[in-house]
């Protein structure tokens, strides 16, 4: 799914106005029927994350935290089973998982002598049954389950998808008989930066030499691509030469502008591969 | 000089003897006693002859409207510094030296001025003086002295020579023509041009003792007051030159006596040449070229003689820069017209026009005649120029008109030239690959150092990418854009070990990016595409011009550009400057020095003692390429080493006072050199490896500061280089000597070095006689390179892109207009050369080649060496194998066929020469099998060799790719040679067999057959 910048902007524009719910996603699919669900979901998620990043600070002022905590206490005081926290998050337009984290932190501050560490919070979010307060545990659980962009569940899903695509890529490489070193092997050899795969023998994709392949199970928008370029892709180039990035859920066409320089973008495993000593596609 | 010329003209001394004298001093054992005597009296003046001759020629041609840049620019923008112009900075002389021709603009002013000046400057009848208000007066006298001889027909020209009738006897009795030095010839303001180009500066005490030095170079110019005495007075040469003047005066005295003697015998002055009138300035017709006509040449003998002396000086390497002289000569050849600045002076006294005082070049015809004469003598060098230049020369209508013979030779050279057109794409910028052996955590002292270096690598490339993107933007500034980021990064390098890591990265990246000519911003060579010849002649010029504009990166600074950092090199230079890190510089110098030493020890794979010359060729292409890579790397590294090493001392100006200079010298002379280049040079010379060592040494020295050449250590280096320069006589071609192109490369780079602003001007002419000559080992040194044809034309042009200026000059001539703004100014922003070859090879073959290159990128360097080694050996063995099998079989066949033929032929009485032809026509087609068999051989042999040599642990995919590449390279090597040579090889072998057989049959027919065979083969 390679989108032009204009197409992408249209989708992103559309997302600004809707809340981050499954219903919104469904509507989006109707609006852009030609786009795959995965692409739309990825864009949806990225846009939402941008939105949250923009508003993050305002939810973390001590006044805001205090007011959220009081509303939570008030809410559960009335009805502990009602989705108080989830509704609060939706009402103030903040990610439920993050709202749960704010309240949990505030709660622990009140009930423990020492301020809770990040890892403690994370493990409690991952497994709410460990939370000492049953009502809060339930509220947190409702939040993490209903959040489609943040939270341990989403992280887990994302990780799984990422891994799945790496496996997919590995299988394709093996199938094409292209030998490679994977990340773990590279780390063992002491490489300081490690793409998913380094090809032991470079190939040409669409006429461009590539030495490495990085798999990204997401949509390549400007924001994430630039971050990746800076932190990963150029670093790979700096060490191993030109390479290929596969954004399995597509990318903005205009970002594929570094081909001559040595960063090639694709939305799928390439078909036009020329190997050393062979004119046509893989042996 | 005048006296010498005079002796020449009187035929007391032959040109050869004179040149010998100039070159090696008076004691010319070979010459006869009379010659020696004639010359020995002039001994004190010996050294000044060449600079004087060069100045004289420049001076004489100052009225030529040249095309091309007013180069060579030793100091760019030096035109403002000409001594003859108001407001010139005090050091004008230096600038002047770099100037072949005065800028066009003042010339045209001069051209338009005569009418206005006419009134005030009339002279007495019979005294048209052609002095330009500056120095060459004495020279003109010298030249003038010859005329009577011509009139007396002592050196007869071929009958019908038009110039003969016009020979101009001098008016010797005229004091005004030969005024005492120091007297101001009235109204000689016709020219406003500076005359001095070669301009020795008295630099140190000891040198200023060598009195003659000042004599011929400086004083003649400055002691003779010009039209603007005030300006001259303010010139740095205005004082302290009395000694020189005196010796000049002595010479003039001698001349005058000589002349008066001659006068008694010389016939009356002949009529003046009608020519000069034609050179009236035309203000319209901007720079359209005047046609040149051999019939209108004035005083041929004089021109011929000067051309001969000049050419001999060039041939003996008595001139500092061979290519500069060629450039000058080509400027004369392509002169648009002459400015008739002197017409005012000449008009009133037509009777003496063309007198000895008359200029050497009176018209464009003279210039062209002289140029063609010199070119004829320099044919050997010309024939080594690139195909494009040869074509332009051969097509030059003036050259054709003046010397059809030379044109024919040039045409033949052009047709025979195997032009190496290099359109190879410079590889895109590649990063230095990460090699776990040197780059992983184990190579760092701490985790922190490891991670710091990780970040640094990324910042370095980020900076590099930004530079690539932006350095051509107007207004972008390296320091402003990247300086702080670079310094922040350098600041993190604390541990020495991190420095060495970073320096290694830096140096490797430097080599990767700048080694290829494309990366260095070099020019693309070659001739104009053949399309041009298909098109009509009128379009040709325009197309050429367009092509020139497209192909030429902004014209380099003329034939002697100052040292520069073209292309990507600028990034590394600016990086060093912006980083401003002492530690970094030190580590960099260490690293560069080590690498230079390592590469300087480069040894060519020993060419096997091949019984037959043919087979050695198999290895040549590869070895030449290898040599070229090493040489170019060395030059690059040495340039940067010179840059960093002399960076703390560099300044635009030499120290202002002697005291300051002395104290600096005292300080500097105790600092050990960064790399013992003298020892390396001495070793190189002794081991016959100058062709490798000198070019990089020149790069190193070119970045030295003003003090360096005065330091004893470096002086001795220059002295060695000067000796070497003198010894590289191109025409000498004895065994064991240096190959022609090797010599030419050294002459070009040395000539360039001698023109560098920081190299004292007089160094070339003064430094001599120090007989600490290097002893060349007479026994053939094992790893000698000088006698091996390692330099090809492509390498020559890559190392010396300024030679391409010759072609540009000729191309501009073709294009018909050098433009008002001075010729080389291009209105179209030239695209860089890379864009010409831009569409990268996307063909299957090109891609495979790229893949093969890329394959080695992330592999350890040893892998590449192994593969190349295998390919080279297998390829070579393949040829041997083919000779031993296929060719041997064919020879057997030939012998039996011959036996049959002989039996029949005996009866018919056929011709053995024909026999050979018949045999060859039957057998040579079988040569085609050689390719198939060669391919099979390489396919069979290479993989095993690769497998045996690579580590056991090599991954299978890597191994098989390495094998494939080795097979491909071996096939390429073998088949390239076979397809080019197999027919000749078979022919040769068959011929040998035929003569063997015939000899066995009987002596008589064998001889006949052989002779015929030989003449045909």
- CATH code at position A198: 3.40.1350
How far is B713 from B670, CA to CA, in rounded Å? Answer: 10
Per-residue pLDDT, B51: 77
Does an H or E element contain A199, and which?
A: strand A197-205
Confirm if B902 and B1005 have CB atoms less than 8 A apart. Answer: no
How far is B683 from B687, CA to CA, in rounded Å? Answer: 6
Of the two residues B715 and B984, the one the predictor is more confident about is B715
How far is A246 from B914, CA to CA, in rounded Å? Answer: 70
Mean pLDDT is lowest, of A198-207, B93-102, B452-461, for B93-102
How far is B509 from B507, CA to CA, in rounded Å? Answer: 5
Of the two residues B347 and A50, the one the predictor is more confident about is A50
In chain B, the N- to C-terminal Cα span, in Å, equals: 52
pLDDT at residue B252 tops 90: no
Per-residue pLDDT, B962: 93
Cβ neighbours, 10 Å, residue A279: 10
Q: Which among B290, B380, B994 has a CA at the least distance from the CA of B744?
A: B380
Per-residue pLDDT, B149: 30
How far is B49 from B4, CA to CA, in rounded Å? Answer: 8
Residues A168 and A267 in one domain: yes
Instruction: From A56, A74, A93, give the residue that closes a domain.
Output: A56
B654-671 average pLDDT score: 86
Of the two residues B297 and B527, the one the predictor is more confident about is B297
Residues A45 and A73 in one domain: no
How far is B795 from B791, CA to CA, in rounded Å? Answer: 6
Per-residue pLDDT, B215: 27
**In B, which residues are within 8 Å of A201 by CB distance?**
855, 957-958, 961
Interface residue B512 vs chain A (CB under 8 A): no
Residue A280 resides in a domain: no
Mean pLDDT is lowest, of A259-268, B688-697, B999-1008, for B999-1008
pLDDT at residue B1017 tops 50: no
B626-640 average pLDDT score: 92
pLDDT at residue B586 tops 60: yes
Per-residue pLDDT, B189: 37
Cα angle B417, B418, B419 (rounded to 5 degrees) comes to 95
Residues A187 and A245 in one domain: yes
Q: Which among B791, B819, B755 has a CA at the least distance from the CA of B327?
A: B755
pLDDT (tens digit per residue) in B49-108:
777 788 778 877 776 666 554 434 333 333 333 333 333 333 333 333 334 443 333 333
Interface residue B719 vs chain A (CB under 8 A): no
* Interchain contact, A209 vs B851, CB within 8 Å: yes
Band of pLDDT at residue B7, cut at 50, 70 and 90: low
Interface residue A237 vs chain B (CB under 8 A): yes
What percent of chain B has pLDDT above 90? Answer: 15
A272-283 average pLDDT score: 65
State which of A100-114, A185-199, B364-378 shows the largest mean pLDDT.
Answer: A185-199
Of the two residues A175 and B853, the one the predictor is more confident about is A175
pLDDT at residue B538 tops 60: no
Cβ neighbours, 10 Å, residue B531: 9
Disruptive mutation site among B431, B433, B450, B967 for chain A (greatest number of A CBs within 10 Å): B431
Interface residue B41 vs chain A (CB under 8 A): no
Residues A84 and A182 in one domain: no
Residues A188 and A266 in one domain: yes
Q: Which domain holds residue A248?
A: 155-275
* Interchain contact, B462 vs A211, CB within 8 Å: no
Minimum distance, in Å, between the CA of residue A258 and any CA atom of chain B: 11
Interface residue A192 vs chain B (CB under 8 A): yes
Band of pLDDT at residue B214, cut at 50, 70 and 90: very low
* Interchain contact, B854 vs A202, CB within 8 Å: yes
* Interchain contact, A234 vs B439, CB within 8 Å: no
Of the two residues B213 and B667, the one the predictor is more confident about is B667
- Cα B510 off chain centre by: 26
> Which of the 8 DSSP states describes residue B909?
T
**In B, which residues are within 8 Å of A274 by CB distance?**
844, 847-848, 851
Residue A243 resides in a domain: yes
Per-residue pLDDT, B362: 75
Residues A170 and A249 in one domain: yes
* Interchain contact, B465 vs A262, CB within 8 Å: no
Confirm if B688 and B743 have CB atoms less than 8 A apart. Answer: no
Residues A87 and A7 in one domain: no
pLDDT at residue A88 tops 80: yes
Mean pLDDT is lowest, of A161-175, B361-375, B428-442, for B428-442
Minimum distance, in Å, between the CA of residue B698 and any CA atom of chain A: 33
Cβ neighbours, 10 Å, residue B141: 27
Residue A165 resides in a domain: yes
Q: Which among B286, B818, B803, B337 has a CA at the least distance from the CA of B545?
A: B818
Residues A196 and A250 in one domain: yes
Tokens of B462: 């980020």
pLDDT at residue A15 tops 90: no
Interface residue A172 vs chain B (CB under 8 A): no
User: What average pLDDT does chain B have?
Assistant: 68
Interface residue A190 vs chain B (CB under 8 A): yes
Residue A92 resides in a domain: yes
pLDDT (tens digit per residue) in B363-417:
788 888 888 889 988 888 888 888 888 888 888 888 888 888 888 888 888 887 7
Cβ neighbours, 10 Å, residue A90: 17
* Interchain contact, A241 vs B956, CB within 8 Å: no
Q: Which among B711, B723, B726 has a CA at the least distance from the CA of B760?
A: B711
What percent of chain A has pLDDT above 70? Answer: 98
> Which of the 8 DSSP states describes residue B471?
T
pLDDT at residue A237 tops 50: yes
Residues A39 and A140 in one domain: no
Confirm if B150 and B299 have CB atoms less than 8 A apart. Answer: yes
For residue B430, the chain A residue with the least C-alpha distance is A241
State which of A183-192, B87-96, B693-702, B979-988 shows the largest mean pLDDT.
Answer: B693-702
Instruction: From A146, A178, A196, give the residue that closes a domain.
Output: A146
What percent of chain A has pLDDT above 90? Answer: 58
Mean pLDDT is lowest, of B168-172, B428-432, B937-941, for B168-172
Residues A70 and A171 in one domain: no
Per-residue pLDDT, B250: 55
How far is B452 from B460, CA to CA, in rounded Å? Answer: 12
B705-722 average pLDDT score: 90
Per-residue pLDDT, B168: 39
Confirm if B216 and B248 have CB atoms less than 8 A apart. Answer: yes
Band of pLDDT at residue A245, cut at 50, 70 and 90: very high
**In A, which residues are within 8 Å of B854 by CB distance?**
202, 209, 211, 241
pLDDT at residue A251 tops 90: yes
Minimum distance, in Å, between the CA of residue A81 and any CA atom of chain B: 51
For residue A93, give Cα distances in angstroms to A55, B777, B864.
Answer: 9, 89, 60
Q: Mutual orientation of helices B33-40 and B2-9 as an angle, nearest 10°?
A: 150
Band of pLDDT at residue A109, cut at 50, 70 and 90: confident
Does an H or E element contain A211, and which?
A: strand A208-216
* DSSP per-residue letters across B110-161: HHH-HHHHTGGG---TT------SSTTHHHHHHHHTTHHHHHTTSSPPPTT-
**In A, which residues are within 8 Å of B855 by CB distance?**
201-202, 276
Q: How many domains does chain A have?
A: 3
Confirm if B237 and B83 have CB atoms less than 8 A apart. Answer: yes
Cβ neighbours, 10 Å, residue A223: 13
- Cα A144 off chain centre by: 16
Per-residue pLDDT, B440: 83
Per-residue pLDDT, B1003: 53
Residues A173 and A142 in one domain: no
Confirm if B275 and B143 have CB atoms less than 8 A apart. Answer: no
For residue A231, the chain B residue with the least C-alpha distance is B458
B477-505 average pLDDT score: 85
User: What average pLDDT does chain A have?
Assistant: 89
Of the two residues B711 and B995, the one the predictor is more confident about is B711
Band of pLDDT at residue A220, cut at 50, 70 and 90: very high
Interface residue A176 vs chain B (CB under 8 A): no
Interface residue B455 vs chain A (CB under 8 A): no
Per-residue pLDDT, B872: 86
* Interchain contact, B436 vs A179, CB within 8 Å: no
pLDDT (tens digit per residue) in B785-835:
887 888 888 888 888 888 888 888 888 777 664 433 333 333 333 333 333
Is the preceding omega at residue B72 within 30 degrees of 0, hence cis? yes
Predicted TM-score (pTM) of the model is 0.73
Instruction: From A25, A41, A56, give the residue that closes a domain.
Output: A56
Interface residue B594 vs chain A (CB under 8 A): no
Per-residue pLDDT, B355: 42
Q: What is the CA radius of gyration of chain A?
A: 22
Q: Indicate the residue of B451, B848, B957 with minimum beta-carbon distance to A179.
A: B957
Residue A282 resides in a domain: no
Q: What is the CA radius of gyration of chain B?
A: 32
Q: Indicate the residue of B457, B842, B857 with minimum beta-carbon distance to A207.
A: B842
Band of pLDDT at residue B305, cut at 50, 70 and 90: confident
Window B:963-982, CB contacts with A under 8 Å: 964-965, 968
For residue A46, give Cα distances in angstroms to A58, A148, B1006.
Answer: 20, 11, 92
pLDDT at residue B575 tops 90: yes
Confirm if B3 and B255 have CB atoms less than 8 A apart. Answer: yes
Per-residue pLDDT, B637: 95
For residue A189, the chain B residue with the least C-alpha distance is B436
> Which of the 8 DSSP states describes residue B612?
S
pLDDT (tens digit per residue) in B562-572:
888 988 899 99
Mean pLDDT is lowest, of A125-139, B382-396, B522-536, B916-930, for B522-536
Tokens of A60: 């973390």
pLDDT at residue B843 tops 80: no
* Interchain contact, A276 vs B848, CB within 8 Å: yes
Residue A209 resides in a domain: yes
State which of A132-146, A159-173, B121-135 shows the largest mean pLDDT.
Answer: A159-173
Q: Indicate the residue of A191, A235, A274 with minimum beta-carbon distance to B458.
A: A235
B677-706 average pLDDT score: 92
Interface residue A262 vs chain B (CB under 8 A): yes
Mean pLDDT is lowest, of B383-387, B621-625, B916-920, B928-932, for B621-625
Residues A230 and A266 in one domain: yes
What are the backbone dihedrals phi and psi of residue B580, each rounded to the nearest 5 degrees, phi first? 50, 45
For residue B885, give Cα distances in angstroms to B99, B560, B939, B995.
Answer: 63, 54, 17, 21
**In B, which residues are within 8 Å of A204 by CB distance?**
847, 850-851
Confirm if A19 and A5 have CB atoms less than 8 A apart. Answer: no
- Cα B128 off chain centre by: 40
Per-residue pLDDT, B780: 54
pLDDT at residue B254 tops 80: no
Interface residue A154 vs chain B (CB under 8 A): no
Interface residue A274 vs chain B (CB under 8 A): yes
B982-1008 average pLDDT score: 72
Confirm if B713 and B768 have CB atoms less than 8 A apart. Answer: no
Interface residue B459 vs chain A (CB under 8 A): no
Interface residue B492 vs chain A (CB under 8 A): no
Band of pLDDT at residue B781, cut at 50, 70 and 90: low
Band of pLDDT at residue B733, cut at 50, 70 and 90: low
Per-residue pLDDT, A278: 63
Residue A27 resides in a domain: yes
B31-42 average pLDDT score: 59
Confirm if B773 and B29 have CB atoms less than 8 A apart. Answer: no
How far is B606 from B615, CA to CA, in rounded Å? Answer: 13
Band of pLDDT at residue B680, cut at 50, 70 and 90: very high
ipTM: 0.87
Residue A281 resides in a domain: no
Mean pLDDT is lowest, of B237-251, B629-643, B908-922, for B237-251
């Amino acid at each position: 799914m390679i989108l032009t910048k204009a197409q992408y902007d249209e989708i992103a524009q559309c997302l600004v106005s809707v809340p981050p719910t499954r219903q919104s996603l469904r509507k989006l699919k109707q609006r852009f029927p030609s786009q795959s669900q995965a692409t739309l979901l990825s864009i949806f998620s990225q846009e939402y994350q941008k939105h949250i990043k923009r508003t993050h600070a305002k939810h973390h002022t001590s006044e805001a935290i205090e007011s959220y905590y009081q509303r939570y206490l008030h809410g559960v005081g009335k009805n502990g089973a009602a989705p108080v926290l989830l509704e609060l998050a939706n009402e103030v337009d903040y990610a439920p998982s993050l709202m749960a984290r704010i309240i949990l932190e505030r709660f622990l501050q009140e009930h423990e002598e020492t301020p809770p560490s990040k890892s403690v919070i994370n493990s409690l979010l991952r497994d709410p049954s460990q939370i000492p307060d049953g009502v809060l545990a339930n509220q947190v659980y409702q939040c993490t389950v209903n959040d489609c962009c943040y939270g341990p569940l989403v992280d887990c899903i994302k990780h799984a998808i990422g891994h799945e695509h790496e496996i997919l890529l590995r299988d394709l490489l093996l199938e094409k008989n292209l030998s490679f070193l994977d990340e773990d092997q590279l780390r063992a050899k002491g490489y300081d930066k490690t793409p998913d795969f380094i090809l032991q023998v470079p190939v040409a994709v669409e006429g461009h030499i590539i030495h490495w392949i990085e798999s990204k199970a997401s949509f390549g928008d400007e924001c994430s691509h630039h971050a990746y370029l800076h932190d990963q892709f150029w670093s790979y180039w700096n060490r191993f030469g030109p390479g290929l990035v596969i954004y399995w859920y597509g990318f903005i066409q205009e970002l594929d502008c570094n081909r001559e320089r040595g960063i090639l973008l694709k939305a799928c495993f390439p078909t036009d591969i020329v190997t050393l000593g062979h004119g046509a596609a893989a042996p | 000089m005048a006296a010498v010329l005079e002796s020449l003209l009187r035929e007391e001394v032959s040109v050869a003897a004179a040149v010998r004298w100039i070159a090696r001093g008076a004691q010319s054992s070979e010459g006869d006693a009379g010659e020696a005597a004639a010359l020995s009296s002039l001994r004190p003046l010996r050294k000044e002859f060449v600079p004087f001759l060069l100045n004289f020629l420049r001076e004489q041609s100052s009225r030529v409207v040249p095309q091309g840049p007013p180069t060579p620019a030793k100091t760019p923008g030096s035109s403002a510094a000409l001594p003859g112009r108001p407001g010139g900075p005090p050091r004008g002389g230096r600038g002047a030296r770099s100037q072949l021709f005065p800028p066009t603009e003042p010339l045209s002013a001069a051209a338009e001025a005569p009418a206005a000046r006419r009134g005030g400057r009339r002279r007495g009848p019979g005294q048209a003086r052609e002095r330009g208000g500056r120095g060459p007066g004495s020279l003109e006298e010298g030249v003038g002295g010859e005329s009577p001889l011509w009139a007396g027909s002592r050196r007869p020209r071929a009958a019908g020579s038009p110039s003969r009738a016009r020979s101009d006897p001098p008016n010797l009795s005229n004091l005004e023509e030969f005024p005492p030095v120091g007297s101001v010839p009235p109204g000689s303001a016709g020219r406003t041009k500076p005359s001095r180009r070669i301009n020795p500066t008295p630099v140190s005490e000891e040198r200023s003792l060598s009195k003659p030095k000042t004599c011929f170079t400086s004083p003649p110019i400055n002691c003779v007051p010009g039209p603007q005495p005030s300006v001259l007075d303010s010139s740095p040469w205005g004082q302290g030159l009395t000694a020189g003047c005196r010796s000049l005066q002595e010479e003039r005295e001698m001349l005058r006596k000589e002349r008066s003697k001659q006068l008694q015998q010389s016939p009356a002055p002949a009529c003046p040449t009608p020519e000069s009138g034609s050179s009236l300035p035309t203000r319209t017709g901007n720079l359209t070229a005047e046609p040149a006509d051999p019939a209108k040449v004035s005083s041929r003998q004089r021109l011929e003689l000067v051309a001969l002396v000049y050419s001999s000086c060039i041939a003996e390497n008595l001139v500092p820069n061979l290519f500069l002289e060629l450039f000058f000569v080509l400027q004369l050849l392509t002169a648009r017209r002459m400015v008739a600045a002197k017409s005012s002076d000449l008009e009133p006294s037509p009777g003496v026009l063309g007198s000895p005082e008359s200029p050497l070049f009176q018209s464009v015809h003279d210039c062209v005649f002289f140029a063609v004469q010199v070119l004829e003598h320099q044919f050997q060098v010309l024939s080594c120029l690139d195909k494009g230049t040869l074509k332009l020369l051969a097509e030059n209508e003036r050259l054709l008109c003046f010397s059809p013979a030379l044109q024919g030779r040039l045409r033949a050279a052009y047709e025979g030239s195997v032009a190496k057109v290099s359109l190879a794409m410079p590889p895109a910028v590649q990063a230095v690959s990460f090699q776990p052996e040197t780059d992983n955590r184990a190579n760092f002292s701490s985790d922190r150092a490891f991670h710091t270096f990780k970040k640094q690598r990324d910042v370095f490339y980020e900076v590099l990418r930004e530079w690539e993107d932006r350095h051509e933007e107007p207004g972008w500034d390296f320091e402003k854009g990247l300086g702080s980021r670079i310094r922040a990064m350098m600041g993190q390098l604390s541990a020495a070990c991190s420095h060495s890591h970073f320096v290694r990265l830096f140096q490797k990246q430097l080599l990767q990016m700048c080694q290829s000519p494309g990366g260095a911003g070099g020019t693309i060579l070659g001739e104009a595409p053949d399309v041009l010849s298909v098109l009509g002649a009128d379009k040709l010029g325009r197309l050429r011009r367009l092509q020139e504009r497209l192909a030429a990166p902004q014209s380099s600074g003329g034939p002697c550009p100052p040292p520069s950092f073209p292309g990507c090199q600028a990034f590394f230079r600016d990086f060093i400057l912006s980083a401003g890190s002492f530690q970094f510089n030190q580590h960099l110098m260490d690293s560069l020095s080590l690498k230079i030493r390592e590469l300087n020890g480069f040894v060519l794979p020993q060419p096997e003692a091949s019984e037959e010359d043919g087979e050695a060729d198999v290895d040549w292409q590869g070895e030449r390429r290898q040599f070229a890579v090493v040489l170019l790397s060395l030059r690059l590294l040495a340039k940067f080493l010179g840059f960093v090493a002399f960076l703390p001392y560099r300044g635009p100006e030499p120290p202002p006072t002697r005291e300051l200079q002395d104290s600096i010298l005292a300080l500097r002379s105790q600092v050990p050199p960064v790399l013992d280049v003298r020892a390396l040079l001495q070793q190189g010379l002794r081991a016959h490896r100058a062709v490798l060592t000198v070019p990089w040494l020149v790069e190193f020295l070119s970045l030295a500061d003003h003090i360096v050449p005065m330091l004893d250590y470096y002086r001795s280096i220059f002295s060695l280089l000067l000796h070497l320069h003198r010894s590289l006589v191109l025409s000498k071609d004895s065994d064991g000597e240096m190959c022609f192109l090797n010599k030419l490369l050294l002459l070009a780079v040395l000539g360039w070095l001698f023109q560098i602003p920081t190299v004292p001007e007089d160094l070339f002419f003064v430094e001599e006689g120090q007989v600490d000559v290097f002893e060349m080992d007479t026994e053939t040194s094992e790893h000698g390179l000088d006698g091996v044809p390692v330099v090809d034309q492509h390498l020559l042009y890559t190392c010396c892109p300024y030679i391409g200026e010759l072609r540009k000059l000729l191309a501009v001539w073709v294009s018909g207009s050098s433009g008002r703004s001075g010729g080389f100014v291009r209105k179209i922003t030239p695209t860089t050369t890379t864009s010409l070859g831009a569409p990268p090879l996307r063909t299957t073959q090109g891609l495979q080649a790229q893949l093969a290159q890329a394959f080695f990128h992330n592999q350890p360097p040893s892998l590449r060496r192994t593969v190349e080694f295998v390919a080279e050996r297998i390829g070579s063995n393949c040829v041997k194998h083919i000779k031993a099998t296929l060719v041997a079989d064919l020879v057997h066949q030939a012998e039996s066929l011959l036996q049959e033929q002989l039996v029949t032929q005996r009866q018919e009485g056929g011709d053995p020469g024909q026999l050979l032809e018949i045999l060859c026509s039957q057998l040579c087609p079988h040569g085609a099998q050689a390719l198939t068999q060669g391919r099979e051989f390489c396919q069979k042999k290479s993989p095993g060799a690769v497998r045996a040599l690579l580590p056991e642990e090599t991954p299978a995919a890597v191994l098989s790719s390495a094998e494939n590449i080795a097979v491909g390279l071996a096939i390429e090597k073998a088949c390239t040679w076979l397809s080019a040579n197999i027919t000749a090889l078979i022919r040769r072998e068959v011929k040998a067999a035929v003569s063997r057989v015939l000899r066995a049959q009987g002596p008589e027919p064998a001889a006949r057959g052989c002779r015929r065979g030989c003449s045909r083969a």
